Amino acid sequence: MNSKNNYSFGLLIIACCLLALTNCEKKQAVNAGFTKTDSLTETYLVLQDSILQVWNTMIHDDNRKIKAMQQLLHELNISSPEKRDELKAYDERLNDLISLRYDQHSMSNTEIVTEYDFASNSLITELISLAESQKVFAYNTTIQRLVDSIRAADQRVNNYRAEYDLVTSRFNEFIERNKGMLREIDEDSFLEKKPLFEMAAE
């Protein structure tokens, strides 16, 4: 299944989840033991779980991209030993990139996301350019495969972020719509909205 199909399948799953959540919110108490508070709590937890699933999928894909970049550097070290010092500098930048990456809380600071994106994009561009400029690139299928993998993963970033924002926006809307009752359940944690990637893009 290619990345386009993966993305379409992901959107279909999210659409189904959102439909189920809409039905869950509208569901009335079926007996005296299941209250409106129970229903809100259940929906809240389902939304939280959906956000976590999308987030983990996105980060897993980013980790695979970073691993491919590490493997590409390894292959270039073998095929182009005369560039060892230059490649070492790229390796250091890649290690820095890992430490720069945002999490679900730090992404509320748009500068952190912007800094990570700049560092990631520039490193990817330079690494791919370096790899494709080597004579070995014409016949080394391992290097070709790694370059294709890195490029494809980089192109998927915005798709994953859009999926994350879709689910998270639904969560934030749920918080806003039910903040009165949620405050009664847990004033501290239940009312906290989550930042979106679209904030960093503005």
**Phi and psi, residue 82, nearest 5°:** -70, -15
- Our count of domains for the chain comes to 1
> Would 13 be classed as within a structural domain?
no
The whole-number average pLDDT for the span 141-165 is 97
> Would 27 be classed as within a structural domain?
no
The whole-number average pLDDT for the span 36-56 is 90
> Would 120 be classed as within a structural domain?
yes
> Would 10 be classed as within a structural domain?
no
> Would 20 be classed as within a structural domain?
no
Could you tell me the sign of the dihedral formed by the alpha carbons of 21, 23, 26, 27, in that order?
A: negative
Structural domain range at position 166:
35-201
Q: 90 pLDDT exceeds 70?
A: yes
Q: 151 pLDDT exceeds 60?
A: yes
> Would 101 be classed as within a structural domain?
yes
- Span 168-197, pLDDT tens digits: 999 999 999 888 887 777 656 667 889 999
> Would 69 be classed as within a structural domain?
yes
pTM of the full structure:
0.78
**Phi and psi, residue 149, nearest 5°:** -65, -45
Q: Put residue 2 in one of left, alpha, beta given phi > 0 → left and psi -120 to 50 → alpha.
A: beta
The whole-number average pLDDT for the span 91-104 is 94
> Would 12 be classed as within a structural domain?
no
Q: 2 pLDDT exceeds 90?
A: no
- Span 7-29, pLDDT tens digits: 555 555 565 555 555 555 544 44
